[in-house]
């Protein structure tokens, strides 16, 4: 498992958390929202492609319980 603070460090990102839990652990990496198995342990990477933008799937995944997202643009959806 890896913590969200470790993910932020590895990706060179900034950790934004409403719960301030930088030690929250995840064990699954997801890039395709259709393959979600366990929302509680998943980090979703919102990749942008020619046909789809992963950022548009964040609300759906959040409703299913996903708590950790790696994004490349500002997301207005508050989790």
What are 32-44's pLDDT values in tens digits? 999 999 999 999 9
Residue range 16-39: average pLDDT?
Answer: 86
Q: How many CB atoms lie within 10 A of CB 68?
A: 25
Question: What's the pLDDT at 61?
Answer: 93
Contacts of 26 (CB under 8 A, 6+ apart): 1, 2, 3, 4, 7, 41, 42, 43, 68
Which of the 8 DSSP states describes residue 53? Answer: B
Residue 60, both tokens: 């759906």
Residue 72, both tokens: 């490349």
Assessment of whether the complete model's pTM goes beyond 0.95: no
Cross-strand pairs, 2: 26
Residue 47, both tokens: 């990749």
């Amino acid at each position: 498992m890896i913590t969200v603070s470790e993910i932020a460090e590895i990706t060179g990102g900034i950790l934004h958390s409403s719960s301030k839990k930088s030690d929250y652990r995840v064990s699954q990496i997801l890039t395709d929202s259709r393959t979600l198995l366990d929302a509680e342990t998943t980090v979703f990477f919102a990749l942008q492609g020619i046909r789809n933008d992963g950022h548009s799937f964040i609300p759906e995944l959040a409703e299913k319980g996903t708590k950790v997202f790696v994004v490349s643009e500002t997301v207005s959806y508050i989790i």
